Structure 1
Amino acid sequence: MSMRLRFALACAGVFFVIGTLAVTAVFFVARTTLQYRASVFTPQNAFWSTEPEDYELARSFGLAVHATYRTDVLDNLRNAGVLAVLGGTGLAFGAGWRTAGMVLIPLRNVTDTARRIVQNHDLSERIGYKGSRDEIKELTDSYDVMLDRLARSFDGQRRFVANASHELRTPLTINRTLVDVAVRRPDATEDVKRLGESLLLVNARHERLIDGLLALTEGERAVLDRRPFDLTDVAEHVLDQAAAEAAEREVTMHRLLDPAPTAGEAVLVERLVQNLVENAIRHNHPKGEVWVTTRRRADRVELVVANTGLQVPPYEIETIFEPFRRLHGDRLRSDRGSGLGLSIVRVITEAHGGTVTATPRDEGGLTITVELPVHAEGGSV
């Protein structure tokens, strides 16, 4: 029940109670006032005859006339009172509804602005309410202050992650070069080569972690430059690139790619599809399968990536999109990524105004569905 409806019902209820009490009070006062009194209705000194029989006859006639008159008056008062209360209650409801609508206009504007901020992921926008100094003004000012603090906090966090990632990438690149040179030296022993290969694997894992942090930071920003592209083209490109790894791991890939026009940052969406496909291949078993589907449904386009693999408990579904969370507690296998893949998928999807869901397959593995807004020809997302 909306606040406007509650206010209108409250106005109608208050009027109904007060009107009912008022009509009831008037009814009882009138009934008491109209009680028969002989001195008023049949005064003995007003009769032409002093005979007792004539007086009693007149008194009986007066009682009958008064009873009829009293009944009619009270019935009319009751009926008119009920109609007045019901009609006034309806008018009070209408007046309350209209008044609440006028009072809630500023609050509705605040709500629309807040909803737009959430949908666009744009913490730079402010409500900027210019009304008089009242409760709504205080609320909107507090909301703007909160947005300022959140924007500064998120910007600081993103800058820190980006700067730290860039600073860490340089020494890792140097380490990789030095280890690679040491391993390729003619006089390098087998122990040195094995150690070098292990160090290169660790170094590659750290590089993937840093790349994932950078992608996570970039994906959290709102996508302002939305350019149209077909999700099918992106999926085909990613699948062609992943074919070699899938063949190496003996994973069969099936593709059912129908046109799926959307708009946004194509590079980010490519990273999204790449993470899903890589997860489907790496979290699989030999002779496993991967199904990739793109399609359009009404005002949305869908990307569905399903794979075979280990059974996934339903209670772990909500945690797989959190950073550094891995299924089955696997934190040692560096070839399976850094645990940021699905987190990146989620932030990129939300930055494009979409949704991502995961469901476990009965046969094992996952089915992950990404929905993005459709881009109609000549229209907008």
Structure 2
Amino acid sequence: MLFSSNFGQQYRVIVQGTYLDPPAAGATAKPPLPNQVFTTTKDGTVLTGPAAEQAMQQQREQVRQAATKSLLTQGGIALVAVGALAAGFGWLVAGRVLAPLHRVTDTARRIAASPAALHERIALRGPDDEVKNLADAFDTMVERLDHSFDGQRRFVANASHELRTPLTLGRALVEVAMHRRTASADVQELGESLLAINARHEQLIDGLLILADSEKQLTTVYPVNLADVVDHVAGQLGGEAAAAGVEIIRGPGDAPTQGDALLLERLVHNLVQNGIRHNLPDGERWVRVLSRAAGQQVQIAVTNTGPEIPPYEVEALFKPFYRLGAERLVTGKGAGLGLSIVRSVAEAHGGTVSATPRPGGGLEVVVSLPIDPS
């Protein structure tokens, strides 16, 4: 029997002393040999005994190694191919399943970051499954909140407008009574008190109107450089600062952004005015106003000297009508809406506000707004 392998050799094997190749025609059959293994190589060399067994053992080892190598190579390639296909298929399936959830999450984050984003809806399209039901329920909730906040803003705006007329009329009547030639000193003193109270009410109403306007969605925005706003506000409040003995330190730097110029002016105005009014009674008194660009944002930083403010009271300063200490009284310096308006305007422009107490007294307020992409 000829036994061939992939390794370029052929062997003629005779096992148990019997020739496996049939005898040639007409030849006399040879008697069986003793039990031995015979092999014949390709070139006709006959190997017997241990040499034949060693040659066959080498062939078996070569066949085993070839089979092992083939199994590892082909198996590894198949494993990598199946793993890649499984990963790609899993990525596609997970992307299709999780994409609506990512959309819900992104919308919720935008709405939480700015009340002006309450007009947004997910409006998810697709099969009527659990994810779509979740998105529809979220849209219904946001729509009700939007109607509620919009009604509240309309009420504040309408009530403020309605109150302005009687206040204006009352101020005119008091001024007429005070300037009559027959008016006594008592009448004039009473008129001054009434005018001060009237001015305070007008200031409160103006603050409510601005607060209601700042919580609306900005429909039209224009390029605004906060450095120009800082210069303008510092000029406006220069007289009040000089009368109070407070120095305004300006450090305007280019800070281009986009937004409503009037609301941004009110934001800077409120910060600087708060810094002037809520300062030390004597000693070192100043307000520093800086505008700057910081990466993908622009910042307005207003720092002042003043009384010490506990860190746990800082966040409450941004609540409407909140005042510290004795300024909770009716005779306080403001209406308690200054920082509320600042935060509302900043959020309407996609920005943030942070405040930090200064060591030794005073406050540092930093407003960050998106930089103008152009």
Give the TM-score, by structure 2 length: 0.74
1:88-108 C-alpha deviation (Å, 9 max, x unpaired): 999877754543222112222
2:369 aligned residue: 372
Instruction: Please give the residue correspondences for 1:295-310 in structure 2 after superposition, counting only pairs within 5 Å.
Output: 295-310=292-307
Name the count of aligned residue pairs.
299
Return the offset for 1:127.
Answer: 1.5
Return the offset for 1:119.
Answer: 5.7
1:104 aligned residue: 98
Return the offset for 1:110.
Answer: 3.0
Cα distance change on mapping 1:284 and 1:183 into 2, 3 Å: same
2:251 aligned residue: 256
Amino acid at match of 1:214: L
1:44-79 C-alpha deviation (Å, 9 max, x unpaired): xxxxxxxxxxxxxxxxxxxxxxxxxxxxxxxx9xxx
2:11 aligned residue: none
Quick one: distance in 2 between partners of 1:223 and 1:109?
23
Question: Residues 230 and 261 of structure 1 are in contact (CA less than 8 Å); yes or no, is this contact kept in structure 2?
Answer: yes
Amino acid at match of 2:140: V
Return the offset for 1:329.
Answer: 4.2
Quick one: distance in 2 between partners of 1:293 and 1:152?
38
Amino acid at match of 1:187: T
Quick one: distance in 1 between partners of 2:185 and 2:345?
44
Return the offset for 1:111.
Answer: 3.1
Quick one: distance in 2 between partners of 1:370 and 1:190?
48
Question: Residues 303 and 371 of structure 1 are in contact (CA less than 8 Å); yes or no, is this contact kept in structure 2?
Answer: yes
Quick one: distance in 1 between partners of 2:243 and 2:263?
26
2:202 aligned residue: 207
2:128 aligned residue: 133
1:282 alignment partner, one of 237, 256, 277: 277
Give the TM-score, by structure 1 length: 0.73
Quick one: distance in 1 between partners of 2:88 and 2:117?
39
The Cα RMSD (Å) is: 2.6
1:245 aligns with 2:240: yes
Quick one: distance in 2 between partners of 1:137 and 1:249?
60
2:359 aligned residue: 362
Return the offset for 1:263.
Answer: 0.9
Amino acid at match of 1:198: S
Amino acid at match of 1:314: P
- Aligned residue for 1:137, secondary structure, equals helix
Quick one: distance in 1 between partners of 2:136 and 2:269?
43
1:271 aligns with 2:290: no
Structure 2: which 5+ runs fail to align?
A: 1-67
2:148 aligned residue: 153
Return the offset for 1:208.
Answer: 0.6
Identity %, equivalent residues:
54
Question: Residues 307 and 367 of structure 1 are in contact (CA less than 8 Å); yes or no, is this contact kept in structure 2?
Answer: yes
1:294 aligns with 2:291: yes
Cα distance change on mapping 1:280 and 1:333 into 2, 3 Å: farther
Quick one: distance in 1 between partners of 2:91 and 2:254?
48
1:150-209 C-alpha deviation (Å, 9 max, x unpaired): 111011101100010011111011111111111111221221111111111111111111
1:331 aligns with 2:337: no
- Aligned residue for 2:354, secondary structure, equals strand
Cα distance change on mapping 1:116 and 1:335 into 2, 3 Å: closer
Structure 1 window deviating more from structure 2 (266-275 vs 104-113): it is 104-113
1:210-248 C-alpha deviation (Å, 9 max, x unpaired): 001001000001223121021011111111010000111
- Aligned residue for 2:165, secondary structure, equals helix
2:181 aligned residue: 186
Amino acid at match of 1:280: G
Structure 1: which 5+ runs fail to align?
A: 1-75
